[in-house]
Chains A and B, each alone.
Chain A
Amino acid sequence: MPSHDVLIIGAGLAGQRAALAAAQTGASVGVVSKVHPVRSHSVAAAGGINAALNPEDTWESHAFDTVKGSDFLGDQDAIEIMCREAPEEILWLEHAGVTFHRDDAGHLGTRAFGGASAARTYYVADITGQAILHVLYEQLLKHHEQLDRYEEWFTVDLLQDDDGHCTGAICRNLRDGHLEVFNAKAVILASGGAGQVYQPTTNGLIVTGDGIAQAYRIGARLQDMEMVQYHPTTLAGNGLLITEGARGEGAWLLNAEGERFMERYAPNKLELASRDVVSRAEQTEINEGRGFPDGTVALDITKVPRRRTLEALREIVNIGRDYAGVDITREPIHIRPGNHYIMGGVKTDTHGQTNVPGLYAAGEVACVSVHGANRLGANSLLDTLVFGRRAGEHAALNRARHTTMPLTRPARVEDTERYISSIIRREPGGRRIAAIKEELGEIMNRYVAVFRDAEGLATAHETIRRLKEEAAKAAVDDRGAVFNQDVIAAIELGYMLEVAESTIVAAEARKESRVAQYRLDFPDRNDGEWLKHIDLSRRCSTSS
């Protein structure tokens, strides 16, 4: 039975940063991840990371942009912390070895990003997330004596003692299927968002809302779950992300008539208005018949000098070539708004603590809330790193040092074993897991997307209830122990349905429009009644 002062679940940017911060204090740290850490979806973050590091820039300006971008729903104390600590975090990354872009003088160089009043986005070509994730993993390897890595271990249950404290987790080793209890004085959830609830999405297949559902099930509060971000530029068809960096570098958006339509919606910021503004503008163009027949508008990257594109947007060149057959340096590419990010998540304070003692959360799984109703581009990497570090430090110094190591009775594993074998023993004949997942994604994308209304939300809610019943009966093909991905898919489906329902419930409750939540039946922002978060917890749903 492995025991650690701090157990971290998930090894993307938030998880790895938390692990390094906790290990720095001398705590014993375990990192559990259902995939190898460098496969975590942080790897797909392309554009960059914001910080007011330039002497002419100020954290206040960064904070102002973030508050404004969030449509004033973001918590300003948390935003202040994030923006103040951002420059230090960039320098820490630089010293750890991230190969940030340099200007001609050899200093860190920046690019412009949406919703920002200064070019403050630091980047590595358009593989910023990958570069940072791989460098953090280098650091994880460097500190291998203080850090135990459990790669390809799937967390099935969070553990709780009689007082409701979180005391660890039960995880399944994917390689041989055996279950293990991980005892911990503090648990940090860093298992990412829930993009797979929607289809299509820019998120990878592993992004299934595990942490959100696990925390919710043991009584943690969720916050801002109705706030789902649609990214303005995703590829028609499979929903792959075309980085905002493309517009940062100077690309234009055109409708089918060749008009640069953002001139009508945001005459000052044009393509670099905040994401919700651009997404809604595109969707309006498409809905009003000025889009292309495939339901898209065009992103014209030929406005960017070709050599610059090849240096700074190489990944997008590859995506255009491999997935759309388009040379983006020569012709426009068809795009549309697509599911990208959830602003909501497990509610935490600025140290990452949830309302469940001993349980922390950081990164996309958490909601601090620094993004409010809309996240600015290049603020999510920052969020993962600043609050990952803060959670790691706080869990190690304030929680683990004042807690004794919990001891879970071994019989607890048997409950989880029974649960897994009940999945394996399900009778065939019901719907296939993949079919349920596909319907879920389509329903969410149709009714809980850029535009919403009461009727659509009710339809979606009803569908989710039915899908939950079907999911409980969906049989698996694989009865083996080694890399049984089928059983994992069944468990993940349960998580996704839980997340979907919470999003719908919150969206139904908020009877106003505020950026990511645009209600056709309540088209105005209503600060009088709704300048507040919606919290959800297992037994009741209330607003606070």
Chain B
Amino acid sequence: MAQTHRSVAPLLDIELIELDRAACCGAGVIAEHNSVLDAILKVKADTDGSIGVRCSCQQGICGSCGVRMNGKPGLACNTHLDEAARRGAGTGWNPPDEGQQQETVVTVEPMGNMPVIRDLIVDMDAVHWRKIHRVTPWLINKEPIPEREYIVPHDNMVDVTQTMACIQCGACVSDCLSMEVDPEFIGPAALSKAYRFVGDPRDAEHHERLKDLSEDEHGIYDCTHCFNCIDACPKGVDPMSQIMRLRRVAGSDFDIEDRNNGHRHERAFVKNIRKNGLLHEADLLPDSYGGKLDPHALPELLGSLPTIATALARRKITPKTALLHTHKAPKEVKALFDEVDGRETRNELNLYVTGYEDDPVHPPHTDEPTPLEPPGPTEAKDDRSEQTVGAADREPPAETSAPTVGAEDVPRAGAEDQEPPTSEEQE
């Protein structure tokens, strides 16, 4: 199976010689599904017990074994050796081009953006957990607390279950580019945690939380949409999507105009594209401050002069393109805007809620196909808003045709079977 040798600490080079089926089966692992952690533990067991690595469950749920493998962060326990090798050393974010030779070395390193304590063990308290603490990571109950459970729409609970599925492994923090530039950036994991409360209808302080995270210059508008966290997350939490949803809720539902100008900047983008079809940079900046004629814009623009000067110097804009932008949005762009604007509720595409795009309309292999009709949109909505805590504040994600197979529909073999104690089943 895999052989490894230890190079300069804290790096651990695992040289993938070949996956020998017999040897792997003997070691109790299936060859094709040998994980990077299997290999590390094998070396630890046979050769060097001093290799430091946090691990426990070996099934991708405890979140202990976040590391970088060939440059890309993830869980050592659910990354296959051959998969890690395919990434190629140092270019882990991109699969090798076709025909390019597969790397045979898997280099395992500690995660980034956090201080290393030893070998593969990083100081998560100093960064990750400190940031989690920053977002008031507990439910602030909506009063009055009901005698029984809060009544909450099914879809809202599935929606926040996506962020609840975060295992706090730190993979997203490891390669957050914004955090590299601004170590104080609250970051993908903690902001996902924040959405877990903002999206939870039982929480009383959505506005306060969003105001806080918008106004903080290291908050939600500090993310640069690099997608690294989405790529890194082993659990499908999509941290960046959660940050974007925080922005949409803050800006559109709560009309929070932050002092970082984040929300106005986003609106300026939309306006710019609607008008021009292509980005007209010279309008973008003034529009972000309320438009060229807005009295507030002048001091802001003066403050931005160094940026403008740099852009001019690098010919990103020229005086000509700055003043004249002849491109006008074509009809198709206008049609798209009209369609989106025409919707009654905001379309929150969330594949975690709706399932995968390639889902068949009818499930295969079932003896009793369950009707997959989504609840009638208006009917279901009315039904809910009468009884629910959260629906009045915010609509549940619109595109939710999630199946509504309750436990009622599940065959319950035990339900009608209440036999006296010594049944044949106890033998």
Please report A residues at the B interface, Cβ cutoff 8 Å.
35-36, 38-41, 43-44, 61, 67-68, 71-72, 91, 94-97, 99-112, 114-119, 124-125, 127, 130-131, 134-135, 138-139, 141-142, 151, 175, 199-200, 204-206, 236-238, 240-241, 248-250, 265-266, 268-274, 277, 280, 302-308, 310-311, 314-315, 318-319, 322-325, 330, 432-435, 438, 476-478, 480, 482-486, 489, 513, 515, 525
Query: Which of B148-156, B177-185, B224-232, B269-277 sits within the interface?
Result: B148-156
Query: Which of B206-214, B319-327, B335-343, B400-408 sits within the interface?
Result: B400-408
Chain B residues contacting A134 (CB-CB under 8 Å) are: 164, 166, 168
B151 touches A250 (CB 8 A): no
The distance in angstroms between the C-alpha atoms of A468 and B426, with both chains bound, is: 36
Q: CB < 8 Å: which of B132, B164, B408 contacts A124?
A: B164
Bitwise interface map of B from 36 to 56 toward A, beta carbon under 8 Å scored 1, else 0: 000000001110111011111
Chain B residues contacting A323 (CB-CB under 8 Å) are: 30, 33, 59, 78
A43 touches B61 (CB 8 A): yes
Chain B residues contacting A236 (CB-CB under 8 Å) are: 30
Interface residues on chain B, size class: 35 or more
B78 touches A39 (CB 8 A): no
Q: Does B372 reach chain A (CB closer than 8 Å)?
A: yes
Query: Which of B11-19, B86-94, B295-303, B412-420 sits within the interface?
Result: B412-420
Chain A residues contacting B96 (CB-CB under 8 Å) are: none
Q: Does B141 reach chain A (CB closer than 8 Å)?
A: yes
Chain B residues contacting A103 (CB-CB under 8 Å) are: 154, 406-408
Chain A residues contacting B388 (CB-CB under 8 Å) are: 106
A117 touches B355 (CB 8 A): no
Q: Please name the residue on chain B nearest to A65 by beta carbon.
A: B414
- Can you identify 9 A-B contacts, CB atoms within 8 angstroms? A71-B426, A95-B141, A99-B161, A106-B152, A117-B415, A272-B413, A311-B158, A484-B50, A486-B50
Q: Does B304 reach chain A (CB closer than 8 Å)?
A: no
Chain A residues contacting B366 (CB-CB under 8 Å) are: 302-305
Q: Does B306 reach chain A (CB closer than 8 Å)?
A: no
Q: Which of B377-427 contact A (CB under 8 A)?
A: 380, 383-384, 387-388, 402-408, 410-415, 417-419, 421, 424-427
Chain B residues contacting A272 (CB-CB under 8 Å) are: 412-414
A102 touches B403 (CB 8 A): no
Q: CB < 8 Å: which of B58, B118, B413, B425 contacts A483?
A: B118
Query: Which of B97-105, B245-253, B309-317, B357-365 sits within the interface?
Result: B357-365
Chain B residues contacting A68 (CB-CB under 8 Å) are: 421, 426
A91 touches B149 (CB 8 A): yes
Chain A residues contacting B23 (CB-CB under 8 Å) are: none
Q: CB < 8 Å: which of A35, A108, A270, A306 contacts B363?
A: A306
A477 touches B141 (CB 8 A): no
Q: Does B121 reach chain A (CB closer than 8 Å)?
A: yes
Query: What's the least CB distance linking B76 to chain A, in Å?
Result: 12
A435 touches B45 (CB 8 A): yes
The distance in angstroms between the C-alpha atoms of A302 and B360, with both chains bound, is: 13
Q: CB < 8 Å: which of A109, A110, A268, A304 contacts B413?
A: A268
Q: Please name the residue on chain B nearest to A127 by beta carbon.
A: B165
Q: Does B160 reach chain A (CB closer than 8 Å)?
A: yes
Q: Please name the residue on chain A nearest to B425 by beta carbon.
A: A266
Query: What's the least CB distance linking B288 to chain A, in Å?
Result: 36
Main secondary structure on B side of the interface with A: loop
Q: CB < 8 Å: which of B32, B46, B62, B153 contacts A204?
A: B62
B59 touches A240 (CB 8 A): yes
Chain A residues contacting B117 (CB-CB under 8 Å) are: 175, 482-483
B49 touches A265 (CB 8 A): no
A97 touches B139 (CB 8 A): yes
| Given A117-B417, A482-B52; 17 other pairs, CB 8 A cutoff | A99-B160, A99-B200, A103-B154, A109-B406, A116-B414, A118-B414, A118-B415, A130-B61, A199-B28, A237-B28, A237-B33, A305-B370, A307-B372, A308-B405, A310-B356, A322-B78, A482-B117
Chain B residues contacting A265 (CB-CB under 8 Å) are: 425
The distance in angstroms between the C-alpha atoms of A322 and B34, with both chains bound, is: 10
Chain B residues contacting A35 (CB-CB under 8 Å) are: 54, 56, 62, 64
B426 touches A322 (CB 8 A): no
Q: CB < 8 Å: which of B48, B56, B119, B148 contacts A205?
A: B56
The distance in angstroms between the C-alpha atoms of A263 and B375, with both chains bound, is: 36
B139 touches A107 (CB 8 A): no
Q: Does B308 reach chain A (CB closer than 8 Å)?
A: no
A111 touches B364 (CB 8 A): no
Q: Does B233 reach chain A (CB closer than 8 Å)?
A: no
Query: What's the least CB distance linking A42 to chain B, in Å?
Result: 10
Chain A residues contacting B28 (CB-CB under 8 Å) are: 199-200, 237-238
Q: CB < 8 Å: which of A237, A248, A476 contacts B49?
A: A476
Most A C-beta atoms less than 10 A away, residue of B149, B158, B164, B417: B149
B161 touches A277 (CB 8 A): no
B139 touches A305 (CB 8 A): no
B407 touches A102 (CB 8 A): no
Q: Does B328 reach chain A (CB closer than 8 Å)?
A: no
Q: CB < 8 Å: which of B63, B145, B403, B426 contacts A515?
A: B426
Query: What's the least CB distance linking A467 to chain B, in Å?
Result: 16
Chain B residues contacting A478 (CB-CB under 8 Å) are: 49-50
Chain A residues contacting B158 (CB-CB under 8 Å) are: 125, 311
Q: Does B137 reach chain A (CB closer than 8 Å)?
A: yes
The distance in angstroms between the C-alpha atoms of A241 and B59, with both chains bound, is: 9
Q: Please name the residue on chain A nearest to B388 by beta carbon.
A: A106
Q: Does B60 reach chain A (CB closer than 8 Å)?
A: yes
Q: Does B133 reach chain A (CB closer than 8 Å)?
A: yes
Q: CB < 8 Å: which of A72, A96, A434 contacts B45?
A: A434
Known: A43-B61, A102-B153, A310-B356. A139 touches B410 (CB 8 A): no
Q: Does B349 reach chain A (CB closer than 8 Å)?
A: no
Q: Please name the residue on chain A nearest to B47 by beta carbon.
A: A477
Q: CB < 8 Å: which of A112, A240, A266, A306 contacts B407?
A: A112
Chain A residues contacting B30 (CB-CB under 8 Å) are: 236-238, 323-324
